[in-house]
């Protein structure tokens, strides 16, 4: 569904395209209902083990090594795909902006999308996500947020 909505949006970064797809894919679905109240647990199960009710999952454990955010957020789609744990990283980053960042309301991500919709270059839109932070500061904040739910991130 996410890929269909973004078809032809070539200026969008790979982490954003794949992060939104992974985000949607990890919402538990049961008997025609999306169980959004279980989403965080589902994301954690998907990343660390074999997914919601043992369905799918990346089985990466609770200590994840990710590429530095500057390299993850900057490259084109083909380069993004070559990053270590690219899809898991994209999900962690997208979920962070949706549920952990700022007022925990996804506002920065919505502002990023708004900039893209207005035709602004991706690197300009990305400033809405950084919100004056360096990539190193964002890494620290993201690692601290995920650590609170039992996921340890290191960036290298």
pLDDT band at 54 (very low <50, low <70, confident <90, very high): low
Q: How many CB atoms lie within 10 A of CB 119?
A: 9
Q: What mean pLDDT, rounded, does the chain reach?
A: 87
| 137 DSSP assignment | H
* pLDDT tens per residue, range 64-117: 999 999 999 987 888 888 888 999 999 999 999 999 999 999 999 999 999 988
| 142 Cβ contact partners less than 8 Å away, ≥ 6 residues apart | 69, 92, 93, 96, 100, 153
| 71 DSSP assignment | H
pLDDT for 38? 75
Outline where the chain has alpha helix (H): 2-5, 14-25, 39-48, 69-73, 77-81, 86-95, 107-117, 122-130, 135-147
pLDDT for 141? 98
Average pLDDT in the 133-156 region? 97
**Residue 42 in this model has a pLDDT that exceeds 60:** yes
**Residue 3 in this model has a pLDDT that exceeds 60:** no
Kind of pairing between the strands at 33-34 and 29-30: antiparallel
pLDDT for 50? 75
**Residue 55 in this model has a pLDDT that exceeds 70:** no
Cα(155)–Cα(73) distance, rounded to whole angstroms?
13
Q: Which residue has the higher pLDDT, 84 or 155?
A: 155
Q: How many CB atoms lie within 10 A of CB 132?
A: 6
Q: What is the pTM of this model?
A: 0.89
**Of 93, 84, 91, 86, which is closest to residue 43 (Cα–Cα)?**
91
Cα(87)–Cα(83) distance, rounded to whole angstroms?
9
């Amino acid at each position: 569904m996410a890929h269909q909505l973004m078809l032809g949006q070539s200026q969008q970064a790979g982490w954003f395209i794949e992060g939104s797809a992974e985000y949607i894919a990890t919402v538990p679905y049961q008997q025609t209902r999306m169980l959004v109240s279980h989403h965080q647990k589902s994301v954690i199960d998907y990343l660390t083990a074999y997914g919601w009710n043992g369905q799918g999952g990346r089985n990466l454990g609770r200590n994840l090594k990710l590429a530095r955010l500057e390299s993850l957020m900057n490259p084109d789609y083909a380069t993004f795909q070559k990053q270590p744990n690219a899809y898991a990283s994209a999900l962690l980053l997208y979920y962070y902006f949706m549920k952990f960042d700022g007022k925990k309301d996804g506002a920065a991500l919505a502002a990023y999308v708004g900039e893209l919709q207005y035709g602004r270059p991706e690197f300009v839109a990305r400033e809405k996500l950084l919100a004056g932070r360096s990539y190193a500061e964002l890494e620290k904040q993201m690692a601290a947020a995920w650590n609170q739910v039992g996921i340890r991130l290191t960036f290298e």
